[in-house]
Structure 1
Amino acid sequence: MTLKNPVLAHHISSQFNEDLQEVNAKFMAMGGIVEQQVTNAIHALLDTDVNMSLDVQYQEKNVNRLELEIDEGLTLILARRHPAAIDLRMVIAMSKANTDMERIGDEALKIANIAQTLCEEGGSPRGFMETRHIGNQVRVMIHEALDAFARLDADQALEVLRADVDIDREYQSATRTLMTYMIEDPRYISRVLNVLWVLRSLERVGDHARNIAEQVIYIVKGLDVRHTSVDEIEQRVHSR
């Protein structure tokens, strides 16, 4: 990942930037794997594809390896370069985003495991339409969050935060619908419950993508916007 924001590039020393490039490359590679994990996990569920589910499980070890390598690289940067100000914000943000990225992979693994169970036991009569819709939104969120991080684009990060609000709303609506269905027809409770767990994992993926976007705002604007409404974040970002 190349730092494309000219203001930030001006403030980051060439040696610091060189050290960070290697870590950034691993972070973006990890992001690409995780994004594909989520895509494959959703397809494994919707298409009852056991092989795709197994591929998600296989990629987990690569994600875990990269998480450890990124943490080690950032620790060495702190020890050797003693970054301050915006340089330090970059390292801190990368460390936190690294954790969120690994947790997205964990949620993808949960979905893949449920997909494998449903392949073996039979699909759910309800919930796949909601899964497809929310899953598509979440995949876009991950991609946009990674792109915002690569380009250090606070406005694009704000769009990710807005998308998370929409996903939370749709998740709650889908949950109510499926709960009502189970009450009215208890024959498929276990299968529909599995779909509810999938939707919960997708909602959490959205939360982690939001966290990554918040780190972009922290790097660019120096603002800690966690636990803050989107409207307030937008006002604070555009006032600086």
Structure 2
Amino acid sequence: MSNNNISRHISGQFNIELEAIRTHVLAMGGLVERQLTDALHAIHYQDLDLAKQVIKEDHKVNSMEVSIDEACTRIIAKRQPTAGDLRLVMAIIKTITDLERIGDVADSIARTTLENFTNQQQPFLVSLEALGRKAARMLHDVLDAFARMDVEAAMKVYRSDDDLDREYEAIVRQLMTYMMEDPRSIPNVMKVMWAARAIERVGDRCQNICEYIIYFVKGKDVRHTNREEMEKLLK
């Protein structure tokens, strides 16, 4: 494998199998990124055809998750990997779970697009643009960090979730104001608020993938670890 963080083996076939799985994960990540980007574009511009396409292709993400999971299971059974190899396989299994859930977010956003919003309610959807951009950027960057197994890049993505959270909180305040000013808007505003929450969760999923990268490279499980302790791993 090309990345220095990923060891090579005497068994050339083992290398081929690991590289094939890793390549498959990146392909799945690329599909999920496109799905999310398309869903955000669809809800912003009320592109119903694009929203339907996102919904139609969600099964591809699910199929890739199952395929990669099965490949990882075969490697564990056949190769009985240890140390860094086992951490890599486990990191991949966990990563594809989060990618599949981000795919579910894209599907849900696309379905929200198909709801009936009046012209007066369009600003609700526009308010999601900045939040969506930040989430899509986090996903893109964490996939890049995963491809290179780059801990520093992963930590940079991890920190950027703070900006996403602030944007989400601002949107919630704005939507609450809409509902107080016009109670008739409550049903649709709640749909948009749910979509905003789903987008915010993309950031949390990206943070999870950051933790898997750190786990593989550093050999330390940093789940439920505070930020200061995680930062120490970079020193």
Q: Normalization by structure 2: what TM-score?
A: 0.93
Distance 1:185 1:10, change over 3 A: same
1:51 to 49, 52, 70: 49
The equivalent residue for 1:18 is 16
2:167 equivalent to 1:203? no
2:223 equivalent to 1:238? no
User: What amino acid sits opposite 1:102 in the alignment?
Assistant: E
Equivalent-residue separation in structure 2 for 1:11 and 1:227 (angstroms): 33
1:90 to 88, 112, 116: 88
Moved more, 157-166 or 124-133: 124-133
Distance 1:222 1:13, change over 3 A: farther
2:164 to 145, 163, 167: 167
1:194 to 185, 191, 196: 191
Residue correspondences, number: 234
Distance 1:216 1:13, change over 3 A: farther
Moved more, 21-30 or 122-131: 122-131
Q: Structure 2: any 5+ residue segments left out of the alignment?
A: none
2:166 equivalent to 1:136? no
User: What amino acid sits opposite 2:20 in the alignment?
Assistant: E
Q: Normalization by structure 1: what TM-score?
A: 0.91
List 4+ stretches of structure 1 deviating above 4 A.
Answer: 10-13
Distance 1:229 1:165, change over 3 A: farther
Q: Percent identity?
A: 44
Shift of 1:29: 1.2
2:181 equivalent to 1:184? yes
Moved more, 173-182 or 135-144: 173-182
Equivalent-residue separation in structure 2 for 1:232 and 1:160 (angstroms): 16
The equivalent residue for 1:105 is 103
SS at 1:199's partner residue?
Answer: helix
| RMSD, aligned CA | 1.7
Contact 1:127 1:178 survives alignment (8 Å): yes
Contact 1:93 1:215 survives alignment (8 Å): yes
Contact 1:50 1:116 survives alignment (8 Å): yes
Contact 2:54 2:106 survives alignment (8 Å): yes
Equivalent-residue separation in structure 1 for 2:191 and 2:94 (angstroms): 30
Contact 2:54 2:107 survives alignment (8 Å): yes
The equivalent residue for 2:143 is 146
SS at 1:83's partner residue?
Answer: coil
User: What amino acid sits opposite 2:205 in the alignment?
Assistant: H
Q: Structure 1: any 5+ residue segments left out of the alignment?
A: none
